[in-house]
Chain A
Amino acid sequence: MIDRRQLVAGIGAASLLSTAAMADTPANPAAAKLNGLMDDWMQRNLRRSPEEVTELGLDKGALVAEKSLLDDRSLAQVARDKAETARRQAELATVDREVLTGLDAANYDTVAYVLDAPSISATTARPM
């Protein structure tokens, strides 16, 4: 068992991590676009989930304020997550899947799968 969460949909505008450090810019423009989206979504996830920020050990420097917060578990947040998922699906639809190969194709299909899978799991724990 492990203790981690599924990809959480998130909101928030500020850029929290340097994107340059995260992914190399590939020659394929569709792959570059996809990588840009994934970096943006990750930053939004961090803004959405202060607990994730702590799990990853990022609760210092630019993100130190997150260390005083817990994840919003309200009904309003559920609605915001739903809207964020729809927004991400629309953003992903602007990436041309047909020209992606190898790891880029796997990245696309994986995030597309997560956005399509309803978050119905009862817990994020990973028992044996």
Chain B
Amino acid sequence: VISQLSGAYLEIPDFLDTKHSIETRDDAEAYLARLSAFAKVMDQQTERARHDAGKWAILPDFALKTTLAQMKQFADTPASQSTLVDSVARRAHAKGIDGDWTGRATHLYEGEVLPALQRQMAELQSWQGRAVHEAGVSRLPDGEAYYALSLRHATTTDLTPAEVHKLGLEQVKLLNARLDEAFKAQGMTKGAPWERLRVLFADPKFLYPNTDDGKAKLIADLNLKVEAVQAKLPAWFGTLPKAQVQIRRVPPAIEAGASSNYQSGTLDGSRAGAYYIVLRDTAEDPSWLLSTLTYHESIPGHHLQGSLQRQADLPLLRKEIWFSAYGEGWALYAEQLADEMGMYETDPWGRIGYLHDALLRAARMVMDTGIHSQGWSREQAIRYFIENQGDPESSAVSEVERYCVWPGQACSYMVGKLEWLRLRQMAKDRMGARFDIRKFHDAGLLPGALPLKVLDRVIGDYAATAA
């Protein structure tokens, strides 16, 4: 329940700031009630963590260290600098709702939230002598079965760890060959593809100035990419998303540990679906990686898929179901689709970014299964990461530590993409001249998120019956 990626201590401050709307006095009062409830749910998670630690599961030592460091940063934030306090005061005053919101939020923050956080930290600190360095869940009782189950759950298939590992290695090889070609076309012929990627990571010509103006320009450029791909959608999709995607910067208050992401909007569109990009330091966002990230998070990726699921004639429960293999698989397929749609005709470095990110998802299949089923150490995975795709060590560390605490999930992207591609080919083969890419996409997207085996049957039915 608690790690460097999960737990109320991470989720609730962002939830209160970006999801809890404040229009009226009652909304502001409800915010304060939730601020008090935040302390209670942290205590509930502390109790659960204590229970789980007694039974079997504690974090590996490095994940425990990162988690505690994040908690300490939170605990060291005085009320005067806390977004939890500022968010209600700022928004209530902006709506002209009078009252001592700062004082009341400060009282709850200091009197309830921070003490609950301290209790949670004390529980985690008490594990420090017991935490081991071994990264894989195979260290746990029934670890092997637990991982096989985690992997099945993440991929919604019956693929075994060994099969996923092998698929990953095949894709890594294939994508390295495609990167080699793409680099040669740009006149970069020497060294392994990861060494050439490393040159791109270090090249200042791909960086925006690390200033407010530079960051504003970066977001403006992303909006242009979205407009360009939007214009091409009708040739590729029968049903189009009605809602426009928003592009926003992850709020500076929470950007330290965040990664870029997409968040669904409300059902009525009062809060639009938004693609949040982390802009701590523009050195982390070289322009050659921004195109594929944008197609993944917005259109034709998450925003398109999520919007169509919401628009479709489905029971509400089915509009809300999410499967990583289906949804992340779609978003990764969408990255390739952007290439097929011609988005890289004038963006050759962006195309290398697309191949880099595809290679990353292939390598995740190798590393995740390596760590959890083949005894790979954290350090072995970090080395593999760097010498496969050239990223700076800091990215490699946070990626690998993520796989360690979230077994299986990292494999869902490429497993899902390969299935979307396989089903597309199957429909093409069966339908011949009748195949229409727009109708294929509708057939796969309008039923909403499905386990991959169900998607297989849905596409099979479509290919058999569509006129």
Contact = CB atoms under 8 A, between A and B. Distances in A.
Given A2-B302, A67-B27, A126-B324, A57 B318 contact: no
Chain B contact residues: over half helix, strand or loop, or mixed?
Answer: helix
A51 B293 CA distance: 28
25 contacts: A3-B263, A23-B315, A35-B315, A41-B317, A42-B316, A54-B20, A56-B266, A69-B37, A70-B34, A70-B41, A74-B48, A103-B314, A103-B447, A105-B457, A106-B454, A106-B457, A106-B458, A109-B451, A110-B454, A111-B321, A123-B406, A125-B5, A126-B328, A127-B402, A128-B296
A94 interface: no
| A-side interface size class | 35 or more
Contacts of B461: 102
Contact of A3 (B45, B48, B261): B261
Given A121-B409, A126-B327, A110 B259 contact: no
B304 interface: no
B55 to A, nearest CB: 11
A102 B26 CA distance: 45
A31 to B, nearest CB: 11
A74 B44 contact: yes
Nearest to B5: A123
B261 A1 contact: yes
B149 interface: yes
A114 B6 contact: no
Interface string B260-271: 111111111011
Contacts of A4: 264, 320, 322
A3 to B, nearest CB: 5
Task: List 9 tightest A-B contacts by C-beta distance, closest first.
Answer: A57-B266, A123-B6, A1-B261, A68-B33, A42-B317, A73-B44, A67-B30, A74-B44, A70-B37
A22 B320 CA distance: 13
A89 B59 CA distance: 32
B318 to A, nearest CB: 6
Contacts of A2: 261-264, 302, 306, 322, 327
B85 interface: no
Interface in B11-27: 11-12, 15, 19-20, 26-27
Interface of A: 1-7, 17, 22-24, 35, 38-39, 41-42, 45, 51-52, 54-58, 64, 67-75, 77-78, 102-103, 105-107, 109-111, 113-114, 117-118, 120-128
A122 B1 CA distance: 6
A117 B40 CA distance: 28
B171 interface: no
Interface string B284-303: 00000000010011000010
B320 A39 contact: no
Interface in B318-340: 318, 320-322, 324, 327-328
A38 B320 contact: no
B49 to A, nearest CB: 10
Given A67-B20, A113-B451, A120-B150, A1 B6 contact: no
| B-side interface size class | 35 or more
Contact of A113 (B27, B149, B156, B316): B156
Contacts of B12: 70
B90 interface: no
Nearest to B150: A120
A68 B15 CA distance: 13
A128 B406 contact: no
Contacts of A39: 315-317
Nearest to B263: A3
Nearest to B26: A64
B454 A109 contact: yes
Contacts of B29: 68
B8 interface: yes
Given A7-B321, A35-B315, A126-B261, A57 B268 contact: yes
B153 A118 contact: yes
A128 B260 contact: yes
Given A75-B51, A106-B454, A120 B33 contact: no
B48 A73 contact: yes
